[in-house]
Every structure is written in structure tokens, then in C-alpha cells.
């Protein structure tokens, strides 16, 4: 039970933090048509959206957490494979669902809790088959939004939450045509971004 409560706490903290962080962006038009994110979606729609983040062989056995009527995260589907799926991360007009494993949950919990560095003991894996968002300013990707930053949409991708160094690995520190880069390079929370559609992974 303790592990379940800790996991739910991490999910709720992550969801609440990102919604607050990007609240100013919610009214922004994306593409030709503005959308309202996950507002007004039914439980069935939220579960389906959350599960769309990962390959079916992962999402079908994953736990699904969705916001309840009071905004707090509740378990909508109990999983068996250690992965957790959320219908939205950044609270933007276009939802960006995610599915992640336990090591990723530890990594995210450390980040949101202000830990100096992540404490996961193995690489964490997370999928975002509908893409996501990041902030750029002066040719760098920021860890959080700030004045003058641009909101950039990411294509479908998956992530490895484990220490990566751009110079040591030769992997670029910004998005590029090769499809992989180290996000937040030079920080303890640097991690690998891979522009590969999880839905096409076999």
C-alpha cells in the first residue's frame, strides 16, 4: 500500500506542477485550431488518451491515472507491468499523454521535489507517442518556462532517464534531423530524447 501511495503522490505532484507551470500557455493557439486539452473529456476518453502514449504491448498492462472531479489524480485502471500512463503532462491546448516505468517515476519525483540529482538506480523509460513540449531561449532548452522563451512542440518520441553527456557521447544537445538529442545537457537531469514514434516500435 505504501508503494501505491508514493506512486500516486509522484503522479499527482507531476501533474499539478506542470499544469501550474504552463497555465499561461493554455490559451495559446496551436496550429489552425485551438483545443481545450483534456477539459470536458469523459473517463473513457481520458483512459484511451493516456494509453495512446505507448506501444500497445506496454499500455495494455499499464496503470492509468486520470484527474478526478476535484482535480486530484485517481487510478482508473490497475496495471501489472510497472508502467503508469497519464492523459496529459503539460496542460497545453493539445494534450501530451505519457507512459513511464517505475525508474522514470523516481526520476520525475526527484525533479519535482527539488533533489540535486535523480536517484533512480537504473535507466527509466518513458513514451510520448503524441509528442510533447519544451521551452527554448537563446539556443538552449530550458528546464522551466521563463520570460522570452518560445514554446516548441516535440514530435512523437521516447525517453531514457539516465545521465547523458553531449560531449562525451557525441549526441547533440538540441533537436536535429538525426532524431536524438540530450535534453537539459550539462545538468544532473540531462536525459536522452529519441524522435521515434513509439506506436511504430515492434
pLDDT over threshold 50, residue 180: yes
| Whole-number percent of the chain with pLDDT over 90 | 70
Region 30-41 average pLDDT: 60
Grid cell for residue 63: 496503470
* Region label for 199, one of left (φ > 0), alpha (ψ between -120 and 50) or beta (otherwise): alpha
The listed range with the strongest mean pLDDT (108-112, 125-129, 174-178) is 125-129
For the chain, counts of helices (H) and of strands (E): 5, 11
Distances (CA, A) of 34 to 27, 91, 174: 8, 13, 27
Rounded CA-CA distance 65/72 in Å is: 10
Neighbours of 62 (CB within 10 A): 24
Region 132-148 average pLDDT: 93
Residue-number span of the structural domain to which 69 is assigned: 2-200
pLDDT, position 40: 85
* pLDDT band per the 50, 70, 90 thresholds, residue 36: low
pLDDT over threshold 90, residue 31: no
pLDDT digits (tens, 9 = 90+) for 65-122: 999 888 889 999 999 999 999 999 888 888 999 999 999 999 999 999 999 999 999 9
How many separate domains does the chain show? 1
pLDDT, position 13: 42
Those residues whose C-beta lies under 8 Å from the C-beta of residue 202, and which sit 6 or more positions away, are none
Region 25-34 average pLDDT: 36
- What phi, psi does 159 have (nearest 5°)? -130, 150
Amino acid at each position: 500500500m505504501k508503494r501505491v501511495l508514493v506512486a500516486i503522490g509522484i503522479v499527482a505532484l507531476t501533474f499539478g506542477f506542470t499544469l501550474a507551470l504552463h497555465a499561461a500557455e493554455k490559451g495559446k493557439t496551436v496550429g489552425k485550431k485551438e483545443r481545450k486539452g483534456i477539459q470536458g473529456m469523459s473517463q473513457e476518453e481520458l483512459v484511451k488518451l493516456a494509453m495512446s502514449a505507448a506501444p500497445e504491448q506496454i499500455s495494455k498492462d499499464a496503470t492509468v491515472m486520470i484527474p478526478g472531479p476535484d482535480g486530484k489524480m485517481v487510478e482508473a485502471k490497475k496495471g501489472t507491468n510497472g508502467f503508469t500512463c497519464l492523459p496529459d503532462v503539460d496542460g497545453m491546448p493539445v494534450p501530451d499523454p505519457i507512459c513511464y516505468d517505475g525508474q522514470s517515476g523516481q526520476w520525475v519525483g526527484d525533479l519535482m521535489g527539488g533533489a540535486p540529482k535523480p536517484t533512480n538506480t537504473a535507466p527509466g523509460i518513458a513514451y510520448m507517442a503524441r509528442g510533447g513540449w519544451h521551452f527554448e531561449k537563446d539556443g538552449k532548452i530550458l528546464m522551466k518556462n521563463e520570460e522570452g522563451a518560445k514554446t516548441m512542440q516535440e514530435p512523437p518520441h521516447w525517453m531514457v532517464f539516465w545521465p547523458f553527456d553531449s560531449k562525451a557521447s557525441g549526441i547533440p544537445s538540441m533537436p536535429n534531423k538525426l532524431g536524438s538529442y540530450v535534453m537539459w545537457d550539462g545538468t544532473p537531469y540531462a536525459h536522452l530524447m529519441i524522435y521515434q514514434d513509439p506506436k511504430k516500435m515492434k
